[in-house]
Amino acid sequence: MGSLRIRVVEDAHELGRAGADLVAEVIAAAPTAAIVVATGRTPMGLYAELAARRRSGVLETKAISAVQLDEYLGLEPDDRRSLFGWMHRSFLEPLGVRDDRVIRLPLDGDLEGACAAFDRGLEARGALDLAILGLGRNGHLGFNEPPSDAGSSTRRVELSSSTIEANARYYDGGRPPATAVTLGMRQLLSARAIVLVVSGSSKRTIVRRALEGPVGPAVPASFLQQAGGDVTVIVDRAAWADGRAS
């Protein structure tokens, strides 16, 4: 089994810096690292910090591969509300990751077959080097909604009403689609390293349940307690209310 480290930082700004340090370490050790890229608000400071380091010439990111974590179904390919659009604006473009180094989820056709082929392709490349993840208020990782077990593969999912509500604020005031594709728990949990970033008081209860509660499908993020690789949770004080770990 791997290790689980909890790092408590002062605020969202420090979270971005600490997260970028970790990602930069992975890239320094493996310049062609395959990295899973979450969207959502929490990792945005981390991505901005990586972009700043790249601009100042201390970080080279052009050889990495970026792996899409999740995507809504039913959008036009160029819809800027897509998670790919968000990933492009916040990560791929600022870090200079070319299209041929982006591993995108299948979104149409025979999805079951396409997702199985996607997972086989990913496994053939070897373990993912790093997964950058955020935590859903319901304990999801990517769009692995509860209940999701540790062995679940890349697949089509129905989003819970809590996720649809939480993501409406990122959806130009509209209602995001209710179906999506997510990288499976199996793919995430077998990454060599995982960094989970958690910020804000709305995540207080769920982060404790995920890291200190019973491990099981009701809180998919709880499986991080048993992940094979090195898991680092970077959590700010607002989310880690009493600051017991450091």
Residues of this chain that interact with ligand F6R (CB under 6 A) are 38-42, 69-70, 83, 134-136, 140, 142-143
Q: Alpha helix locations (H) across 56-197? A: 83-87, 93-95, 111-125, 161-168, 185-189
Give the number of other Cβ atoms within 10 Å of residue 117's Cβ: 13
- The single-letter DSSP state of residue 240 is S
Give 61 or 167: the residue with its C-beta nearer to ligand F6R.
167
Dump the DSSP string for 8-57: EESSHHHHHHHHHHHHHHHHHH-TT-EEEE--SSTTHHHHHHHHHHHHTT
Nearest approach, Cβ of residue 167 and ligand F6R (Å):
7
Give the tokens for residue 79. 């819809």
Nearest approach, Cβ of residue 67 and ligand F6R (Å):
12
Give 3 or 170: the residue with its C-beta nearer to ligand F6R.
170
Nearest approach, Cβ of residue 58 and ligand F6R (Å):
26
Give 29 or 170: the residue with its C-beta nearer to ligand F6R.
170
Active site residues: 70, 138, 140, 145
Phi, psi of 195 (to 5 degrees): -120, 120
Give 55 or 175: the residue with its C-beta nearer to ligand F6R.
175
Radius of gyration of the chain (CA): 17
Helix (H) or strand (E) holding 207: helix 204-212
Which residue has the closest beta carbon to ligand F6R? 134
Nearest approach, Cβ of residue 98 and ligand F6R (Å):
21
Rounded-to-integer distance, Cα 200 and Cα 15, Å: 11
Give the tokens for residue 233. 């949770």
Beta bridge partners of 56: none
Dump the DSSP string for 218-233: TBGGGGGGG-SSEEEE
Give 61 or 163: the residue with its C-beta nearer to ligand F6R.
163
Nearest approach, Cβ of residue 38 and ligand F6R (Å):
4
